[in-house]
Structure 1
Amino acid sequence: MAKRLNNESSIGDVLKEIIQVNKLQPGMDQISVKEAWVSLMGNGVNSYTKNVILKGGTLYVELTSAVLREELSYGKDKIIKMINDELRRDIVTAVVLR
């Protein structure tokens, strides 16, 4: 049976409990990483981004430009650091550019 929270719990605590009990964290991480990619990469990169998927700790990014894919491949470590800093957690451990 789920843990019952007292009436003085904050909304944040209640939401964290719901996410934990229902095992929703991977889906929340997926959304957070997509939002971080959009905000960090800017319009130039986002116009060539087809899809962003997080599976496990690996971020898969589908790009429509081979030139941009090659350019971003040189900065994978920086991309990982920027996204993890934005989310204040170590979620992404690797980046695969397609």
Structure 2
Amino acid sequence: MSKRRNNDHLPISDIIKDFVDTNRLQTGLDKVNVQDAWAQMMGNGVNNYTTAVQLERDTLYVQLSSSVLREELSYGKDKIITMLNEAIGKEVIKKLVLR
């Protein structure tokens, strides 16, 4: 009556990973993950001045409405990159551009 699938015993994470790989969705998921990681890591103080977070290839562009905050964050770019990559679980960001 009903067909049994060969992958009945695969974990859902493997099935989702196969789906993402087959449909080439990883880049889009990385962009969303980076935006979420930025919002969680930086907190309300920085998020209130963040107008855009955009990942293009391996460069993260963050637009800030405060020049003072932009200057302060520029001193810790390497640390921010490391913390974001750790939050995402892989090295997605290699360069951070604050605008």
Measured against the shorter chain, the TM-score band is over 0.9
What does residue 66 of structure 1 align with?
Answer: 67
Task: Please list every run of 5 or more consecutive structure 1 residues that lacks an aligned counterpart in the other structure.
Answer: none
CA contact (8 A) 1:59 1:96 kept: yes
Q: Which amino acid aligns with 1:83?
A: L
Residue 88 (structure 1) shift: 1.6
Instruction: Give the TM-score normalised by the residue count of structure 2.
Output: 0.92
1:10-89 aligned at under 5 Å gives the runs: 10-89=11-90
Give RMSD over aligned pairs: 1.2
Q: Distance in 2 between matches of 1:88 and 1:64?
A: 29
Q: Distance in 1 between matches of 2:59 and 2:6?
A: 35
Instruction: Give the TM-score normalised by the residue count of structure 1.
Output: 0.93
Larger Rg: 2
Residue 5 (structure 1) shift: 5.7
Task: Please list every run of 5 or more consecutive structure 2 residues that lacks an aligned counterpart in the other structure.
Answer: none
CA contact (8 A) 1:5 1:14 kept: no
Residue 72 (structure 1) shift: 0.6
**Count of equivalent residues:** 95
Q: Which amino acid aligns with 1:35?
A: D
Task: Indicate how the Cα distance of structure 1 residues 5 and 64 shifts in structure 2: closer, same or farther if over 3 A, else same.
Answer: farther
